Chain A
């Protein structure tokens, strides 16, 4: 299976094509095809995981034998216990003597990602049969899910950065398509466009980074790129620039500050889509890229030196921004969206402080419990509030929806990092690594983030499930197709973290997933009991404080009362409610600035600034002239100067006409530009 993971990718792609052509005519309108394909992919990925684990164990066994017989007996690589990734590739096309390959690069990270993607995707597919039951674009929805799964798997198994880019753009497109799924609503299509454009902004960085790496390395190959990065210090500048560019790509895709603003808006899509794309898989593509090309970042940002680097800083800021914004949301999905941003911040920060395993482990656990939370929120709106996500219409659902309630509680506790749920192990691993390698600042940020996380989840759970029911419908528990995935995910959220429970001596995740070849020598911090106690108590404290506020006042009024009485609190609340004014900056300042024709700005500049300047200078000259040169006609000079000013103004008017909207005018510019450039080239080549 390790040599044929392409089958796992091909199945959802095939299902997409089948649904596209025959979906509407099938008895279940395409859902059965999609679910079968993803289920087969999931089985394939389990099989691949088993084979990979066998391979790791066999290699350890071989290393043991080699140790027993002495190092001379075995090739040095396997003597170090290195497990080579399984690489298969074929030439996609050839140009200028360079092969552009497609293929699969399978190691522990790939296997883990394939497992997560197919697992969550399968559960979301099943969940959607209930959730999307009456939708008029049901078939289309399943086609979209299939295409997304295939694209995400393409990205994950890619053997080269170019292929990764293809998958990366495809998942971006699917995300766009599914956010705007209910495009009749103008809000939704705007959100889709915003998400697409914001991630595209980051993609430019990614593309430039890939090109830089390609120029430096001479291949798109991931293995080759990583080997190049580890070669030595003589290429540090290139690696630094490349990793900054790649980091911009990560910022766009993984919702890192300051490109995170699209993710909350992306909640306009159907909830299962939010769970799959905007919590568990697509948004972690950035983190995956960081993990996949880790040697580049490790060397580029000199992570081994400790101290502050850009990656850790971006992650750290994102933790705080996301967590604080999650406080003021009224929409349960937006709370979760900001929480996702904040948790992605943890992953990026972990990569930035050299805690590779912790980052990937957190990716793994977060995918499970955040998908659980999103699906739970979907269940609440499905059964409880009739497709509303406003927490003001919820409350008191604890009794009416017991399964949803308990699974949601488990997800929240896992997210808050309460022992012994999944989130505890991964978050703790990040913190302990940050603390032990000279990144104390980030340890503190992580602890503050843990406090905020626990607090906003308490608020969210309280508003949703406790108190009195404030909606106008008749809440009831959702059907089986919705609760089954919730129960499965809740089970995984309880036990999933144990796979790397360091104090119990279980380090399977590290063993299976961490690459052993072509990888920088990262330090693994040992489990630290006091730190774990501190982080759990911080989370408990946050839960306690928030519960005190919530239960005592029963309503939101207390919080509101505080903000009304205290000016500082109020301004803080406004700042948060306006999302730090970032959207305002992007939409009103930057976009407006570009949309209003630049020519008009130039015209204005000409009319007021230059014109004024010229007039001012002219008048000054006139005054001087009146005294010094009595016999030169004052009006003549004045007129000449005014004429020149008018000329400049007219030039601005001409520039304004560039944006005429006439196609033929644009064609004229194109041909003229081609002509002028050919002349230039011709002259240059002849001389």
Chain B
């Protein structure tokens, strides 16, 4: 099998994740899109790990999985906080950065 099959699949999922992060209003959905992007990265790492016959890719993928879990925990806590303060999980209500 070609290496590029996996890489391009991963690129596609990454791009879909980018779309989700940019176009979704709900904070939970944005976090899910971030998960898509992280998974795309993982596929990349595993594919290269197999391509180079090097175990390091697997280990990095494990690290990313753990970090993703931490990120979801904190991210959801932030969304909850936004929800509690603004009565809505919508990220476009958060506009205190407005110039």
Chain A interface (Cβ < 8 Å from any Cβ of B): 597, 599, 659-664, 666-668, 671
Contacts and interface: CB of A to CB of B under 8 A. Distances in A.
A142 B99 CA distance: 38
Interface string B11-36: 00000001001100000001000000
B62 interface: no
A671 B22 contact: yes
13 contacts: A597-B99, A659-B99, A660-B98, A661-B96, A661-B99, A662-B91, A662-B94, A662-B95, A663-B91, A664-B22, A664-B30, A664-B91, A671-B18
A597 to B, nearest CB: 4
Contacts of B18: 671
Report the contact-size class of chain B (Cβ under 8 Å from the partner): 10 to 19
B90 to A, nearest CB: 10
Nearest to B30: A664
B97 interface: yes
Contacts of B99: 597, 599, 659, 661
B84 to A, nearest CB: 18
Contacts of A663: 91, 94, 97
B21 A667 contact: yes
Interface of B: 18, 21-22, 30, 91-92, 94-99
Nearest to A670: B22
Contacts of A667: 21-22
Contacts of A666: 97
B92 A664 contact: yes
Contact of A659 (B21, B30, B96, B98): B98
B95 A661 contact: yes
Contacts of A671: 18, 22
Interface of A is mostly: helix
A661 B22 contact: no
A660 B91 CA distance: 13
List the 3 closest A-B pairs by CB distance, nearest first.
Answer: A661-B98, A659-B99, A661-B95
A325 to B, nearest CB: 35
Contacts of B97: 661-663, 666
Nearest to B98: A661
A663 B79 CA distance: 14
A659 B99 CA distance: 5
Given A662-B92, A664-B92, 14 more contacts: A599-B99, A659-B98, A659-B99, A660-B95, A661-B99, A662-B94, A662-B98, A663-B91, A663-B94, A664-B22, A666-B97, A667-B22, A668-B22, A671-B18
A565 B37 CA distance: 75
Most chain B beta-carbon contacts within 10 A, residue among A597, A659, A661, A666: A661
Contacts of B96: 661
A649 to B, nearest CB: 20
A671 B17 CA distance: 12
A597 B99 CA distance: 6
A638 to B, nearest CB: 36
A219 B47 CA distance: 40
Contacts of B95: 660-662
Nearest to B95: A661
A667 B30 CA distance: 12
B45 to A, nearest CB: 20
Nearest to A597: B99
Contacts of B94: 662-663
A594 to B, nearest CB: 10
Most chain A beta-carbon contacts within 10 A, residue among B18, B22, B95, B99: B99
Nearest to B23: A664
Nearest to A656: B99
B25 to A, nearest CB: 8
